[in-house]
Amino acid sequence: MTPQKSHIVPHALKQIGCIIVLAIAYYGMAEISRHVASTPQDVTPVWPPDGIASGAVLLFGNWIGYGVLLGSFFANFWAFRDPTNFSSLAISTLPVFLIAIGTTLGTMLGAFLLRKTTNLRYPLDQIRDVFKFLILTGMVGPSINATVGVTCLALSGKVPWAAYGTVWLTWWISNVSGILIVTPMLLSWSQFIQKHRDSFWEWLASISTSETGQRQVASHRCRFWLILVDPVILMGLVILISKVAFGEGYHLEYMLIPMLIWSAFRLGQPGATLLTFIVAAIAVLATVNGKGGFADRDLNQSLMQLQLFIGVITLTILVLTATIAERTQAETKLRLAFAELASTNETLEFRVRQRTEELNVKNTALNQTLETLKQTQLQMLQSEKMSALGQMVAGVAHEINNPVSFIHGNLIYLSEYIQNLWKALQVYQQHYPHLPQALQAELAQLELDFLQEDIAKILHSMKSGTERISTIVLSLRNFSRLDEAELKAVDIHQGIDSTLVLLQHRLQATSNRPEIQLIKDYGDLPLIECDAGSLNQVFMSLLSNAVDALEESHQGDSFMDNSANLNVIRIQTLQMNTNRVMIIIADNGMGINQEILSKIFDPFFTTKPVGKGTGLGLFMSYQIVTQKHGGNLWCDSIPGQGTKFVIEIPVKASIGNW
């Protein structure tokens, strides 16, 4: 517990000290204003203590409002006390205390509204925040102060109710003027000190610890005096013009505005607000002493002109400095954006150079690879086509399988739900046989009996369709076999059947020919150790060529002629010996001429029109059977009678490199 107390007590003492200092400053400034800037009618045209109070609350927070309360109490106590006796003194203290409370509430309300609307930003850096400060802190807060103060004085009999409005306006304007003059100066100098505190101490340290000797010290001092040139010149001009305008009686007050504008550009917001304070102080002192262009026989007119002058120069300087600050911030952001853009351009140029070098290196390597590629182009074409076909088939099978399974599984539930709906409808009809005429007409138009009968047919067709798709998907997966090891013992008949499923659409009847008859004569074969995926490619190529041959052999014939000559593909398998099997695929097409028969296994040789064949199908099939499986593939053909392809592969094959 001891460490916490040692931490809390100093902070509390610090706050108490700040509260006392603010109370003394408020009271002292109030006394100075009464003695220096008070008119013969005891009117103070500017009330700087309110400016000090608003600045302190905005800078330190609401906790320092106790200082405002104490300062206002003592400042008004000495002004409105009645020392006749103790009772009168106590009675006169009550309105003074209420005035202090009104001053504190008005100050804290103005500060709260400003913080709320500016999101705790510094309120003098943006034009919109400047107007919020002028309206909320400079006008709304003093309204509470003036209302409470004048009401208390009127209730205590110190101010007649007939003069309530005039006194309230004078009180309010003096508080507004004090806030507009003093508070911006306090805020701007506090902001300036916070920003340049570290750099100031670094500058002092560089002078005291300089290792370069007297020259650097002299350089720092020279820079220091150069910084003071503008403030000294401006201060001299302001004092000179103020002396001429307010001391000699010449109407040259407007000459002060260029000086203040100059200070806004050269000295920034702290210097401009300080000179504004000096000009306002000189104008107030001259006016209350009956000098200057604002002095008039009518006191109210004199004060009104003076306060308008103070409001105009304060508003002008605050808006101008806020505009300069916004422009500076925009220029800073623009410079940062340009710097970032330049950095990005440099990085981009470096990356472009780096990529160019990489491309040059890769181009050299590509040229070398191209020479090698020309020598192995045929082998790459074979591998790529087979790999692409297998991946495509496997991908299609995988993507179709999930939604089809989902649809097929949900058809059962859908059928049950529909049956339940029909049952519910029948029960409803039993309980309500006499329906309204409009509902009967609507049900008659819907044809419920037909719907019940047709929905059952639709569900049956959908179920048959999904089963058919599932069969095709299974055939696709068996055909591709990408998820299996390259060398595996498989049922060769399963691969043939999967291929036939994929070619089923080509075996069906068309408008030019009847259906192709398929004859399967499977022998009793053992499991064949092979690359099932590539071997299925061979079956696909040979069966596709057989279908093409049958279609080509009947081109130009009538449908009746084609119906008389049946199209037949015969697939036969048999075991030659313990380690060798034979697969025969034959068709009764037009056959192949002997001069062509010797070239059918050459690469890129084809008799098909351009766009229908690449000349690689039979060549790749030959490579797969002979080089990859150590078997043999040949073709027998009799023109006009048909063609037969014979595959011989060992039962246990060793996968070769091809």
> What would the pLDDT profile of 35-56 be if each residue is shown by its tens digit?
765 655 556 778 889 989 998 9
Higher-pLDDT residue of 303, 208? 303
pLDDT value of position 360? 87
**What pLDDT digit, counting tens, does each position of 383-397 carry?**
555 555 555 666 666
Return the minimum-mean-pLDDT range out of 1-15, 115-129, 247-261, 453-467.
1-15
Selection from 6-20, 142-156, 498-512 with the highest mean pLDDT: 142-156
Residue 586: the pLDDT is 92
Q: Which residues of 330-361 are buried (b: 16+ CB within 10 A; e: fewer)?
A: eeeeeeeeeeeeeeeeeeeeeeeeeeeeeeee
Question: Which has the higher per-residue pLDDT, 228 or 182?
Answer: 182
Query: Which pLDDT value is given to residue 223?
Result: 58
Measured CA to CA, the distance from residue 421 to residue 217 in angstroms comes to 100
Report the C-alpha gap between 434 and 436 in whole angstroms: 7
What's the CA gap between 272 and 325, in Å, rounded? Answer: 13
Instruction: Identify the pLDDT of residue 645.
Output: 92
Q: Can you say whether the dihedral through the CA atoms of 144, 146, 152, 154 is positive or negative?
A: negative
Window from 118-127, 134-143, 372-381, 577-586 with minimum mean pLDDT: 372-381
In the block, tokens 């002058």 appear at 309
Q: Are strands 568-577 and 580-587 parallel, antiparallel or unpaired?
A: antiparallel
Is the pLDDT at 424 greater than 50? The verdict is: yes
Is 209 or 300 the better-scoring residue by pLDDT?
A: 300
Note the pLDDT of residue 2. 39
User: Which residues, listed in sequence order, are joined to residue 373 by a DSSP beta bridge?
Assistant: none
- pLDDT attached to residue 505: 79
Please give the pLDDT value at position 236: 78
Identify residue 126 by its one-letter amino acid code: Q
Round to the nearest angstrom and report the end-to-end CA distance of the chain: 85
- pLDDT in the model for residue 632: 92
Average pLDDT over residues 368-373: 71
Q: What's residue 573's pLDDT?
A: 93
Would the pLDDT of 212 be above 50? no
- CA dihedral over 60, 66, 67, 72, signed as positive or negative: positive
Which tens digit of pLDDT belongs to each residue from 396-413? 666 666 676 767 677 777
Amino acid at 73: F
Residue 258 has a pLDDT of: 78
For residues 13-22, one letter each, b for 16 or more C-beta atoms within 10 angstroms of the residue's C-beta and e for the rest, the string is: eebeebbeeb
- What are the structural domains of the chain? 486-552+564-657 (3.30.565.10)
The answer to which of 240-254, 265-279, 313-327 has the lowest mean pLDDT is 240-254
Instruction: Kindly state the average pLDDT of the residues 16-26.
Output: 90
DSSP character at residue 126: S
Give the pLDDT confidence of 175-186 residue by residue, as tens digits.
888 888 899 989
Region 77-94: mean pLDDT is 73
Q: What is the pLDDT of residue 514?
A: 80
* Structural Rg of the chain based on CA atoms: 52
pLDDT at 210: 47
Query: Mean pLDDT highest for which of 3-12, 332-341, 511-520?
Result: 332-341
Q: What is the pLDDT of residues 517-573, one digit of tens each?
A: 889 999 998 988 888 777 888 888 888 888 888 888 766 666 566 666 788 999 999
| Distances from the Cα of 209 to the Cα of 35, 199, 225, angstroms | 48, 15, 20
Q: How do residues 592-618 score in pLDDT, each as one tens digit?
A: 888 888 788 877 777 776 556 666 778
Mean pLDDT, residues 112-138 taken together: 88
| Token duo for residue 131 | 């107007």
- pLDDT at residue 585 in the model: 92
Query: Which percentage of the chain shows pLDDT scores above 90?
Result: 6
Lowest mean pLDDT among 155-159, 282-286, 360-364, 493-497: 282-286
Task: Share the mean pLDDT of the chain.
Answer: 78
Work out the burial of residue 551: count CB atoms within 10 Å of its CB; fewer than 13 is exposed, 13-18 middle, 19 or more buried: middle
Sheet strand arrangement including 517-521: 517-521, 568-577, 580-587, 642-650, 632-638
CB atoms within 10 A of CB 248: 10
Q: What local confidence, expressed as pLDDT, does residue 265 receive? A: 81
Residue 1 pLDDT greater than 50, yes or no:
no
Percentage of the chain modeled with pLDDT above 70: 76
- Mean pLDDT on 440-468: 73
Within 518-558, where are the H helices?
532-553
H/E element holding 287?
Answer: helix 268-288
**Residue 648 pLDDT grade (very low, low, confident, very high; cuts 50, 70, 90):** very high
CB 48 within 8 A of CB 33: yes
pLDDT at res. 310: 82
Element (H, E) at 642: strand 642-650
Return d(Cα 105, Cα 148) in angstroms, integer: 10
